[in-house]
Amino acid sequence: MGYYYINRKNSMADRIIDRDKLQDLYINEIIDGMDVKDLCALVYDYMDQNLESYSVNELIAEVEEYYPELLEESEAN
Residue-wise pLDDT for 56-77, tens only, equals 999 999 999 999 999 997 777 6
Model pLDDT, residue 12: 54
Model pLDDT, residue 60: 97
Query: Domain tally for the chain?
Result: 1
Residues of the domain holding 71: 4-76
Run of H or E including 4: strand 4-5
Model pLDDT, residue 76: 73
pLDDT tens digits for range 6-40? 555 555 555 778 889 999 999 999 999 999 999 99
**Entry pTM:** 0.62
Model pLDDT, residue 14: 55
Backbone dihedral region for residue 40 (phi beyond 0: left; psi -120 to 50: alpha; all else: beta): alpha
